[in-house]
Structure 1
């Protein structure tokens, strides 16, 4: 894989995204962030370039990914807004192919199903709760996974349980078939995303990560 120095970040204005941005800067990366409301973003660093726009807008995605070597996404579904998962995934992969970008790492919930899963009763309960209470969001996220599966992109979709927004860090447990813990810190999500971006250990897979 070619050297990764400039990274496109989706969701960098969110709670998990803020941890990711700070960790990327600490590691010395140059970042491009797509923000709908840049005035609400309060991390200042000369290695950040901000693109004002919306992830659902194709031209915004093109502007974000231009001259980047990888794409990281912590983007989530906002309440009472259009569905984002499948549309953003489709647009990102189309632009990646156009620009020759190889690496895409994103996070999702436990509710995504893959053919490799052997979910425990606890994980199945969380999955079924999402399907029952948010069926449209669930279907859209599952559609996004299918788009990834059917693509030629070097992607990793990381499935996470309850997120704790803290600077604490502990051992990260990774499993392809099931989520072995009940929570994960935002800091540890960031660490794993960056490591996976570089190493591609779980290329074209959707591992669960958690803290024990």
Structure 2
């Protein structure tokens, strides 16, 4: 496996993303962060450089990914704004330009994969998302299809309800169904970072929970 030298982070200014950034800094990784509002970003470290821009701007994403060996994304849909999931993935894949960039992206339970055997609770959550936010659901599903059809070294991490206690605990992982109903953002961050040095879930979409 190629050693990761520098990491691009998308969504690092968000609630889950800040856990991710702090843990990456603790591990000593040099980072490039794509931020729409860098003036509001409070994490300070000499390991962090900032690219000012939006993930839906192809030029900004190209600047972000340039020189990086991995991309970690926790970007979520913004209320009242253009659909982001599939557009972000297209921009990252295009910016990588066929280079072997490790790409780990966060998603919800509602995304379907061919190997899924979703239980009642997970299926209920999926159907709720499909009926309540059909456009967002379709866009997130499209993001999975784009990854699956690409040659990229991707992992899509699917999670249930996110808590923000910062408490680390056991993480359960499944290829077929969500093993639980909640997970802490600190554990999401740790699992995503672990994918940088572990190919167990390469080109797969595991469910994780506490």
Alignment partners' CA distance in 1, 2:101 and 2:37: 28
> 1:102 deviation in Å?
2.3
Q: How many corresponding residue pairs?
A: 210
Matched with 1:37 is 37
- The DSSP-based 3-state class of the residue aligned with 1:139 is helix
Matched with 2:46 is 46
> 1:5 deviation in Å?
2.0
Alignment partners' CA distance in 2, 1:185 and 1:200: 23
Instruction: State whether residues 68 and 101 of structure 1, in contact with CA within 8 Å, keep that contact through their aligned partners in structure 2.
Output: no
Matched with 1:114 is 113
Alignment partners' CA distance in 2, 1:188 and 1:97: 31
Matched with 1:61 is 61
Alignment partners' CA distance in 2, 1:53 and 1:167: 28
- Can you list the C-alpha shifts for 1:78-130, whole angstroms capped at 9, x where unaligned? 000000111110110111125x2420001100000111000000100000000
- Can you list the C-alpha shifts for 1:150-175, whole angstroms capped at 9, x where unaligned? 00001000000000112201100000
Matched with 2:97 is 97
> 1:200 deviation in Å?
1.8
- The DSSP-based 3-state class of the residue aligned with 1:137 is helix
Matched with 1:5 is 5
Alignment partners' CA distance in 2, 1:93 and 1:17: 20
Instruction: State whether residues 100 and 153 of structure 2, in contact with CA within 8 Å, keep that contact through their aligned partners in structure 1.
Output: no
- Which sections of structure 1, spanning at least 5 residues, go unmatched? none
- Which sections of structure 2, spanning at least 5 residues, go unmatched? none
Matches of residues 51-200 of structure 1 in structure 2 within 5 Å?
A: 51-98=51-98, 100-200=99-199
Q: Please, what TM-score do these two structures have when normalized by structure 1?
A: 0.97
Alignment partners' CA distance in 2, 1:77 and 1:22: 22
- The DSSP-based 3-state class of the residue aligned with 2:196 is helix
- The DSSP-based 3-state class of the residue aligned with 1:199 is coil
Alignment partners' CA distance in 2, 1:174 and 1:15: 22
Instruction: State whether residues 68 and 101 of structure 2, in contact with CA within 8 Å, keep that contact through their aligned partners in structure 1.
Output: no
Matches of residues 200-211 of structure 1 in structure 2 within 5 Å?
A: 200-211=199-210
